[in-house]
């Protein structure tokens, strides 16, 4: 029996080798090194390393504070580098390293915190010519597809990769350990080791299925942002300075209790939805543009696919138990909308020790009920008894961005200390145990 199993394993290994031998990563995968940090402690703290491990050796030899992975993507005749936002968060200097560990200076282009995505480019244009672009596969992926997760280069120039198969093609991230939009991911069994964040997930035809984002600690679950979402987001970051999202001016909410309906519990002023406030406020959302809504993640999935300035319909059951179909043309979530979300989230939190939030020069200040002020340095929440996920706060735009993102997790904390030792808890919903989403 043991001989038979060994034989089967050998045959399987030969099949994998035969199918993948023509796939080369040397010209499009890069090790990403962060040299120095600005501001407060970054999300995820520092990587915990096993003494003497390969990643520790690379960090020592490159003098990098953080190591991740990225890959080259060509768009409009220019080459860019894609990686995870948490890899380069607050980086003072970012370098890319090829298989021989030649260093290349990179500069920031843009990011999308919602999908933990950052776009970079080479500081010297001639450096870009040394690399080729990946080919993104944006068509549907079939469960069972064999894949490689690819990470940073080993010091001897060999590729760092793990084989697995696709389990789900439209998975939702179950863990709260890395804050992302939760939907639009491929789940596979191809392991993501520390330092793999931001790397590509390849099929055996050499196409990239997406960007590796997250592993579920304690489970054999690894998540990759789908290439179709990745491509759209990268193009809009380059062309528009950020991902274009539809803005209705609504706050959707759902209790964490099972089988609870998704409600519209707020309509923001001067928004596309304000004219229909009487029909929308405290109504149950049943469909968005003809697509059924069963939970708040359905709202997220549908709204992420809707283009601004495109007229859509909302099917609701009003608080008077009447069924209505309402037509609205969404605008774009811009900086002013994000500032509005930030102020609204604070002002609506009756019962908490705060009444308003304002920008004062380069500081964001929370006005408390007793009229004292708190200059906010960090925004985040507790992951567990030991660890916090912490973001340094720059302005109300960022606070609004984090409010939209952290609302899905039902919690938000602020502090005037960069170490986030004694945070003030902010409720993002009038009721406890609710997840909220602004669109």
**Per-residue confidence (pLDDT) for residue 183, from 0 to 100:** 83
Both tokens assigned to 322: 């009447």
How does the average pLDDT of the chain come out, rounded?
Answer: 84
Assess if residue 135 is contained within a domain. no
Q: CATH number of the domain at 307, please.
A: 2.30.42.10
In terms of pLDDT, which residue wins out, 167 or 382?
167
Regarding whether 368 and 316 lie in a shared domain, the answer is: no
Assess if residue 6 is contained within a domain. no
The rounded percent of the chain whose pLDDT value lies above 90 is: 52
What distance in Å separates the CA atoms of residue 262 and residue 296, rounded to the nearest whole number?
A: 6
What distance in Å separates the CA atoms of residue 388 and residue 170, rounded to the nearest whole number?
A: 28
When pLDDT is cut at 50, 70 and 90, the band that residue 95 belongs to is very high
Q: How many domains are contained in the chain?
A: 4
Q: Where are the beta strands (DSSP E) in 28-151?
A: 29-37, 66-75, 78-84, 91-97, 103-112, 117-122, 146-151
Instruction: Find out whether 356 and 343 touch, Cβ atoms under 8 Å.
Output: yes
When pLDDT is cut at 50, 70 and 90, the band that residue 8 belongs to is very low
When pLDDT is cut at 50, 70 and 90, the band that residue 174 belongs to is low
CA 221 to chain centre: 17
Regarding whether 422 and 340 lie in a shared domain, the answer is: yes
pLDDT in tens, 104-137: 999 999 999 889 999 999 999 999 999 999 999 9
What distance in Å separates the CA atoms of residue 77 and residue 378, rounded to the nearest whole number?
A: 39
Assess if residue 49 is contained within a domain. no
Say whether pLDDT at 390 is over 50.
yes
Last residue of a domain, one of 206, 240, 274: 240
What distance in Å separates the CA atoms of residue 359 and residue 83, rounded to the nearest whole number?
A: 31
Q: With left for phi above 0 and alpha for psi between -120 and 50, is residue 63 left, alpha or beta? A: left
Assess if residue 3 is contained within a domain. no
Instruction: Find out whether 170 and 192 touch, Cβ atoms under 8 Å.
Output: no
What distance in Å separates the CA atoms of residue 347 and residue 113, rounded to the nearest whole number?
A: 24
Assess if residue 172 is contained within a domain. yes
Assess if residue 171 is contained within a domain. yes
Regarding whether 326 and 370 lie in a shared domain, the answer is: no
Assess if residue 205 is contained within a domain. yes
Say whether pLDDT at 12 is over 50.
no
Instruction: Find out whether 192 and 182 touch, Cβ atoms under 8 Å.
Output: no
Say whether pLDDT at 438 is over 90.
yes
What distance in Å separates the CA atoms of residue 347 and residue 360, rounded to the nearest whole number?
A: 17
Instruction: Find out whether 430 and 347 touch, Cβ atoms under 8 Å.
Output: no
Regarding whether 124 and 107 lie in a shared domain, the answer is: yes
Say whether pLDDT at 10 is over 60.
no
Write the CB contacts of 312 (distance below 8 Å, at least 6 apart in sequence).
246, 288, 289, 306, 327, 328, 329, 330
pLDDT in tens, 315-374: 999 999 999 999 999 999 999 999 999 999 888 775 556 778 888 777 888 887 777 888
Backbone CA torsion sign across 363, 366, 372, 378: negative
Q: CATH number of the domain at 166, please.
A: 2.40.10.10
What distance in Å separates the CA atoms of residue 377 and residue 415, rounded to the nearest whole number?
A: 6
Last residue of a domain, one of 277, 309, 332: 332
Instruction: Find out whether 184 and 304 touch, Cβ atoms under 8 Å.
Output: yes
When pLDDT is cut at 50, 70 and 90, the band that residue 215 belongs to is confident
Regarding whether 251 and 231 lie in a shared domain, the answer is: no
Mean pLDDT for the stretch of residues 297-323 = 94
**Per-residue confidence (pLDDT) for residue 297, from 0 to 100:** 87
Regarding whether 81 and 66 lie in a shared domain, the answer is: yes
Instruction: Find out whether 430 and 348 touch, Cβ atoms under 8 Å.
Output: yes
Regarding whether 164 and 208 lie in a shared domain, the answer is: yes
Q: How far apart are the first and last CA of the chain?
A: 58
Both tokens assigned to 42: 């970054």
Regarding whether 382 and 407 lie in a shared domain, the answer is: yes
pLDDT in tens, 66-87: 899 999 999 999 999 999 998 9
What distance in Å separates the CA atoms of residue 165 and residue 147, rounded to the nearest whole number?
A: 5
Residue from 134, 135, 42 nearest 84 by CA: 42
Regarding whether 164 and 69 lie in a shared domain, the answer is: no
Instruction: Find out whether 262 and 252 touch, Cβ atoms under 8 Å.
Output: yes
Predicted structure pTM score: 0.87
Regarding whether 259 and 212 lie in a shared domain, the answer is: no
Last residue of a domain, one of 332, 352, 383: 332
Q: Are strands 200-203 and 146-151 parallel, antiparallel or unpaired?
A: antiparallel
Residue 66 sits at φ, ψ, to 5 deg, of -145, 140
Assess if residue 35 is contained within a domain. yes
**Which residues form the domain of 97?**
29-40+57-128
**Per-residue confidence (pLDDT) for residue 80, from 0 to 100:** 97
pLDDT in tens, 231-268: 999 999 999 999 999 999 999 999 876 568 999 999 99
Regarding whether 394 and 383 lie in a shared domain, the answer is: yes
What distance in Å separates the CA atoms of residue 143 and residue 170, rounded to the nearest whole number?
A: 10
Regarding whether 354 and 289 lie in a shared domain, the answer is: no
């Amino acid at each position: 029996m043991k001989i038979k199993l060994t034989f089967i394993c050998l045959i399987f290994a030969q099949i994998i080798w035969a199918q993948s031998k023509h796939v080369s990563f040397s010209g499009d995968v890069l090790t990403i090194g962060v040299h120095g940090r600005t501001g407060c402690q970054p999300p995820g703290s520092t990587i915990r390393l096993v003494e003497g491990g390969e990643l520790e050796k690379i960090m020592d030899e490159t003098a990098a504070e953080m190591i991740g992975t990225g890959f080259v993507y060509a768009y409009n005749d220019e080459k860019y580098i894609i990686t995870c936002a948490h890899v380069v968060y607050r980086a003072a200097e970012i370098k890319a390293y090829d298989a021989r560990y030649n260093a290349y200076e990179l500069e920031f282009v843009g990011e999308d915190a919602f999908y933990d995505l950052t776009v970079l480019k080479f500081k010297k244009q001639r450096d870009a010519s040394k690399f080729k672009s990946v080919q993104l596969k944006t068509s549907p992926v079939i469960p069972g597809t064999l894949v490689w997760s690819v990470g940073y280069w080993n010091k001897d120039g060999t590729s760092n990769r793990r084989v697995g198969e696709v389990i789900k093609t439209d998975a939702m991230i179950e863990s709260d350990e890395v804050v992302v939009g939760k939907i639009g991911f491929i789940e596979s069994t191809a392991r993501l080791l520390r330092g793999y964040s931001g790397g590509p997930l390849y099929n055996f035809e050499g196409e990239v299925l997406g960007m590796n984002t997250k592993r579920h600690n304690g489970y054999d679950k690894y998540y990759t942002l789908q290439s179709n979402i990745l491509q759209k987001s990268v193009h809009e970051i380059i062309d528009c300075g950020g991902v274009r999202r539809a803005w209705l001016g609504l706050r959707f909410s759902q209790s964490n209790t099972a089988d609870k309906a998704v409600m519209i519990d707020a309509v923001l002023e001067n928004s596309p939805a304000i004219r229909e406030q009487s029909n929308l406020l405290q109504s149950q959302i049943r469909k968005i543009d003809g697509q059924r809504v069963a939970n708040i993640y359905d709202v997220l999935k549908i709204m992420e696919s809707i283009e601004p300035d495109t007229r859509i319909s909302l099917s609701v059951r009003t608080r008077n138990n009447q069924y209505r179909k309402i037509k609205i043309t969404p605008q774009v979530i811009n900086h002013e909308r994000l500032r509005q979300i930030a102020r609204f989230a604070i002002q609506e939190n009756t019962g908490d020790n705060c009444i308003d939030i304002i920008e004062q020069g380069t500081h964001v200040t929370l006005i408390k009920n007793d009229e004292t002020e708190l200059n906010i340095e960090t925004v985040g929440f507790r992951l567990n008894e030991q660890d916090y996920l912490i973001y340094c706060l720059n302005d109300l735009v960022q606070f609004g961005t984090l409010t939209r993102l952290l609302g899905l997790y039902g919690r938000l904390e602020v502090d005037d200390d960069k170490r986030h030792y004694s945070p003030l808890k902010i409720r993002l919903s009038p009721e406890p145990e609710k997840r909220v989403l602004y669109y």
